[in-house]
Amino acid sequence: MELIQQLSLEFTPLIDKSFSLAECPRWDWRSKTWLWVDIANGELWRYSQQVSDVRRWDEPLGCFAMWRDEGFILAAKSGIYRLDSWESNRELVAPLISEYPRMRFNDGRAAPSGHFVAGTRNGAKLGDQGQFYQLTENGQTNPMPMYAWTCNGLAFSPCGLYLYWADTGSSLVYRADYDPITGAYGQSDIFCDLNGFNGRPDGASVDSEGGYWVAMYGGRSVLRINTEGRVTHKLAVPAENPTMVAFGGESGQQMIVTTAEGSTGAGQVLSTELSAEVSWHGIEEPLVTVI
């Protein structure tokens, strides 16, 4: 078995604030700001040059993606919404219809095809499992055959030909073929089994060389998986519950790891810089164009 390289990077808080369940960090290259959500409190945060701002809604907010010049697509407990600008009111695009009260949208992002893809979570673990959906034209949601109690870890390869997702409960990461033009997708196959590692796979991102980085909730770490499905690097995180990892900043060398509250304290948004010992960097997040 090949050895896993231990990365040693120093994290500091990006912002001096505490969060319940910080998630979905994303570099907005349009405005050169960092954004993230605090799921439980229904908050969308943005931060740039020591200045922060927040939008709040009265329901959990799982994830978001960028839309047009300054807008966003939001995936909340009740459905998918459009936010034309930071200051505007959100407008419902597609409701989430479920008979299970603890079903909500959880993890999602814009696909290379311009579609918005997001998965749900059934916190009760009774009844239907969560599932990924792809937003199509005219506000329709296409259910995808990708099921888990907690759908997580959505990311796309730099070439756009592969979709990755994680089943948090089983600690399995899957990969499916994906058409970056049409949004058509293939069967999900097991890409990497993480049952031998501490924690469970949560949110993820892909670097410029196709490495899949996944936050290990409860494992105090982030893992990098290469394109062959082998864990090559492990990065210790100074928090009990890392929730997602993202790359960005002007050069794509800044790494952000969001965390959730745990026995050792509140959730945070942590920042570090990739060192000279690695050759990869972040890739530009696409915009949602199909709605």
Question: Which residues are known to be catalytic?
Answer: 202
What tokens appear for 174 in the block?
A: 């899957």
What tokens appear for 203 in the block?
A: 């949110």
| Contact of 107 with 45, CB cutoff 8 Å | no
Q: What's the distance, CA 290 to chain centroid?
A: 19
Report the C-alpha dihedral over residues 36, 38, 217, 253, rounded to 10 degrees.
20
Nearest to 22 by CA among 258, 205, 219: 258
What is the rounded distance in angstroms from the CA atom of residue 180 to the CA atom of residue 199? Answer: 32
What is the rounded distance in angstroms from the CA atom of residue 201 to the CA atom of residue 222? Answer: 9
Residue 23: how many other CB atoms lie within 10 Å? 27
Hunting for tokens 């949110």 — which residue is that?
A: 203
What tokens appear for 34 in the block?
A: 């960092």
Q: Which amino acid is at 82?
A: R
